[in-house]
């Protein structure tokens, strides 16, 4: 226990000294039991300030210090680093007399309060135990969940740095949403053409273990030491043996809609979602196939010369140990059936933006031709409706971020396909904040002669062979009625339902729209609250391809920083459960935001120290008063309260 405590009161320029009489604080503390020395200084965190602390520790033979300055979240680390050359860093405490005192109080009472805060901190310090940091080993292997462009980029970055990656994708092929797009804004690159090389690179990379058609079903453990269970769904086709000759597909008698084409194009029960799929192999759709059970059809197996088809393939559970996890589960479109005012989107000629993307694709349902789905004719008048479900309190309150840009692209591509057609775009504002985006929009508006109407669409309904769009032009204040052949809804982007499932497994939070919640919206945008878990792409928030790729690389760099160490050092300020008196009520497990409280086989709670951030939520919530924070024990807090009141 500390016997010779030094108190260092910081002026913080005028931040503290302008309000609090710092000399009086030092003077009062000099008289306080246990305090051997007290002084003040202009800027304690500065180099001379830190040197003053070193000098006085030596001269006055101090065995603990209280720095009365700003919030510990600001400078605790700074001052503990100064002290660790002399004694255990737990013997250095900060008394916050800035945020909690000088910034919020008037002169005299501020000084009085500052004295109390410092005295209380001295009392806490007297009860502190010396603690040693916790070290956690790191398994240098990363799990990436989701094989869209975000997952692909993150996996490649980590693998290129020499670490092993397991990339799990639940669909038969990686590629995600980007593989479904026709061309990308603002450069009009072919989406497939720029994505496919990366997909192939993933499949060929010696450090990447690609597990497509697989799902993560269980995750336990903590940073550096996650245990993951992955379910490998049976394709009923041997990936390695399949030559993608297509003979099986020709003979398969079952036709169902292809999910990859937004169900607008047929596929067989044995299928490859798109020609460039990776891994390049056929898959049997268990639900649609006649041959699996009972054995009524074996056409494909008979046709397969490579003998790749095996109806008896079983699901397999693969267990892996990884040190870090990147969640890149992507997005879905908001369900258009929620849009009552747009006829629930039920009409064949009212389509979503992704359906339009597939229509534009050469390998899509129409071979790249733009048609009016109900008749197959070329639509002469097309209305694009932005913010369908976005920026709308009744649906999704947020901006889906990419719709302005892709709608402009859609309108432009429409005009290239149907030069004599008319295109209208309803918009609230145009948000074109990316590099070269504004120029692209201007080009579309001016060169392509697209009619941009500033206003929201009130109603969409069918009248004969036309789709009538009612809206208002807020610039002229006039009602607008357009009789269109085709309406394209720029649907809001929402988190996938699978994201929520993964979030529950990882015990990370999701917010409005089902997007993953980051640790800090500005300073930790790719990190989960729990260490060792990172986010990339639209699973975190709507974003375009460049932002997704950048975020994926950012997440990868976080993983690499983690893997650069053999052991992780952690602050020992963690929760301690008195196991003997724990009833296993589970309150702490439910409230811990870091997933650090876990149930043991005997039902009692245990704190995984590697995960605990020392927030104290569990200690406050424990109805048996059975959890204590190291160096924030009840006796210490009670002594602090005694001094204050």
Which residues contribute to the site for other proteins (CB under 8 A)? Answer: 504, 507, 509, 578, 580-587, 589-591, 599, 603, 617, 620-626
Least distance between other proteins and beta carbon 597 (Å): 10
Least distance between other proteins and beta carbon 166 (Å): 24
Least distance between other proteins and beta carbon 619 (Å): 10
Cβ proximity to other proteins: between 3 and 599 the closer is: 599
Least distance between other proteins and beta carbon 529 (Å): 14
Handedness of CA 417, 419, 424, 428 (dihedral sign): positive
- Complete DSSP assignment for 543-587: --HHHHHHHHHHHHHHHHHHHT-SEEEE-S--EEE-GGG-----H
Of 331, 264, 308, 327, the C-alpha closest to 513 is 331
Cβ proximity to other proteins: between 418 and 509 the closer is: 509
How far apart (Å, rounded) are the C-alpha atoms in residues 290 and 269?
Answer: 8
Least distance between other proteins and beta carbon 389 (Å): 21
Q: End-to-end CA distance of the chain: give it in Å, rounded.
A: 24
Cβ proximity to other proteins: between 106 and 580 the closer is: 580
Least distance between other proteins and beta carbon 499 (Å): 16
Cβ proximity to other proteins: between 314 and 602 the closer is: 602
Cβ neighbours of residue 279 closer than 8 Å, sequence gap 6 or more: 173, 203, 210, 212, 239
Cβ proximity to other proteins: between 442 and 590 the closer is: 590
Cβ proximity to other proteins: between 460 and 627 the closer is: 627
Cβ proximity to other proteins: between 298 and 620 the closer is: 620
Three-state secondary structure of 209-244: EEECCEEEEEEEEECCEEEEEEEECCCCECCCCCCC
Cβ proximity to other proteins: between 134 and 621 the closer is: 621
Angle subtended at Cα 495 by Cα 491 and Cα 497, rounded to the nearest 5 degrees: 115
Least distance between other proteins and beta carbon 519 (Å): 16
How far apart (Å, rounded) are the C-alpha atoms in residues 632 and 626?
Answer: 13
Of 450, 464, 440, the C-alpha closest to 415 is 450
DSSP run (H or E) holding 460: strand 457-463
Could you tell me the two tokens for 213? 């058609």
Least distance between other proteins and beta carbon 623 (Å): 4
Cβ proximity to other proteins: between 432 and 587 the closer is: 587
Of 122, 64, 74, the C-alpha closest to 95 is 122
Could you give the 3-state DSSP secondary structure of residue 9?
A: strand
Q: Between helices 107-127 and 22-30, what is the axis angle to 10°?
A: 40
Cβ proximity to other proteins: between 441 and 615 the closer is: 615
Handedness of CA 436, 439, 444, 450 (dihedral sign): positive
Query: Distances in Å between the alpha carbon of 242 and those of 247, 282, 295, 306, 428?
Result: 11, 7, 22, 7, 50
Least distance between other proteins and beta carbon 605 (Å): 11
The single-letter DSSP state of residue 121 is: H
Cβ proximity to other proteins: between 1 and 512 the closer is: 512
Report residue 393: phi and psi, to 5°.
Answer: -60, -25
Instruction: Find the radius of gyration of the CA atoms of the chain.
Output: 31
Cβ proximity to other proteins: between 363 and 624 the closer is: 624
- Complete DSSP assignment for 11-78: -TTTTTTTTS-HHHHHHHHHTSTTEEEEEEES-TTSHHHHHHHHHHHHHTT-SEEEEEES-HHHHHHH
CB-based contact 188:181 (threshold 8 Å): no
Omega into 294 within 30° of 0, i.e. cis?
Answer: yes
Of 282, 417, 265, 269, the C-alpha closest to 355 is 265
Place of tokens 């109806």: 311
Cβ proximity to other proteins: between 152 and 629 the closer is: 629
CB-based contact 490:385 (threshold 8 Å): yes
Report residue 92: phi and psi, to 5°.
Answer: -115, 120
DSSP run (H or E) holding 374: none
Cβ proximity to other proteins: between 435 and 520 the closer is: 520
How far apart (Å, rounded) are the C-alpha atoms in residues 308 and 258?
Answer: 22
């Amino acid at each position: 226990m500390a016997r010779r405590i030094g108190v260092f009161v910081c002026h913080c320029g005028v931040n503290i000294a302008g309000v609090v009489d710092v000399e009086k604080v030092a003077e009062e503390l000099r008289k306080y039991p246990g305090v051997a020395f007290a002084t003040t200084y202009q800027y304690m965190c500065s180099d001379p300030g830190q040197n003053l602390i070193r000098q006085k520790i030596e001269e006055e033979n101090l065995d603990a210090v209280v720095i009365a300055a700003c919030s510990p979240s600001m400078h605790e680390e700074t001052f503990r680093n100064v002290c660790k050359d002399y004694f255990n860093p737990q013997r250095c405490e900060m008394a916050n007399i800035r945020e909690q005192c000088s910034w919020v109080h008037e002169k005299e009472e501020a000084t009085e309060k500052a004295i109390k805060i410092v005295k209380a901190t001295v009392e806490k310090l007297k009860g502190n135990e010396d603690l040693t940091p916790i070290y956690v080993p790191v398994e240098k292997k990363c799990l990436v969940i989701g094989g869209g462009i975000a997952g692909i980029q993150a996996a490649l970055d980590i693998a290129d740095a020499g670490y092993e990656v397991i990339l799990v994708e639940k669909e038969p092929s990686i590629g995600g949403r980007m593989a479904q797009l026709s061309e990308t804004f603002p450069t009009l690159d072919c989406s497939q053409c720029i994505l496919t090389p990366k997909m192939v690179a993933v499949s060929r990379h010696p450090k990447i273990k690609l597990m497509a058609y697989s799902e993560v079903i269980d995750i336990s453990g903590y940073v550096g030491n996650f245990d993951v269970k992955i379910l490998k769904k049976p394709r009923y086709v041997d990936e390695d043996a399949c030559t993608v000759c297509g003979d099986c597909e020709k003979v398969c008698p079952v036709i169902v809609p292809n999910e990859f084409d937004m169900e607008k194009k047929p596929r067989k029960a044995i299928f490859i979602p798109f020609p460039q799929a990776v891994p390049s192999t056929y898959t049997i759709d268990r639900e649609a196939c006649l041959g699996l059970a009972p054995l009524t059809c074996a056409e494909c197996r008979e046709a397969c010369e490579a003998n790749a088809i095996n109806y008896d393939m079983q699901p397999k559970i693969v267990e892996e140990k990884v040190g870090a996890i990147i969640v890149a589960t992507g997005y879905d479109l908001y369900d258009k059936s929620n849009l009552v005012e747009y006829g629930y989107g039920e009409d064949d000629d009212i389509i979503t933006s992704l359906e339009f993307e597939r229509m534009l694709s050469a390998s899509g349902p129409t071979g790249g031709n733009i048609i009016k789905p109900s008749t197959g004719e070329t639509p002469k008048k097309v209305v694009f409706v932005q913010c369908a479900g976005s920026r709308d309190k009744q649906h999704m309150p947020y901006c889906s971020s990419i719709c302005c840009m892709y709608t402009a692209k859609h309108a432009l591509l429409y005009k290239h396909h149907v030069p004599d057609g008319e295109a209208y775009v309803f918009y609230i504002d145009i948000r074109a904040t990316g590099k070269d985006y504004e120029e692209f929009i201007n080009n579309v508006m001016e060169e392509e002669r697209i009619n941009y109407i500033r206003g929201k669409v009130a109603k969409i309904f069918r009248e004969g062979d036309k789709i009538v769009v009612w809206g208002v032009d807020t610039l002229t204040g006039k009602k607008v009625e357009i009789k269109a052949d085709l309406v394209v809804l720029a649907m809001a982007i929402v988190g996938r339902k699978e994201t929520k499932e993964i979030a529950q497994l990882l015990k990370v939070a999701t917010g409005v729209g089902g997007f993953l919640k980051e640790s800090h919206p500005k300073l930790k945008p790719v990190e989960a609250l729990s260490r060792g878990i990172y986010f990339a792409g639209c699973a975190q928030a709507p974003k375009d391809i460049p932002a997704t790729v950048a975020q994926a690389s950012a997440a990868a760099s976080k993983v690499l920083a983690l893997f650069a160490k053999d052991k992780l050092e952690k602050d020992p300020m963690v929760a301690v459960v008195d196991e003997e008196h724990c009833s296993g009520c589970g309150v702490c497990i439910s409230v811990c935001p870091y997933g650090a409280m876990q149930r043991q086989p005997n039902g009692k709670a245990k704190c995984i120290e590697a995960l605990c951030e020392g927030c104290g939520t569990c200690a406050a919530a424990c109805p048996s008063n059975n959890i204590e924070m190291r160096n924030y024990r009840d006796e210490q807090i009670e002594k602090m309260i005694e001094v204050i009141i």
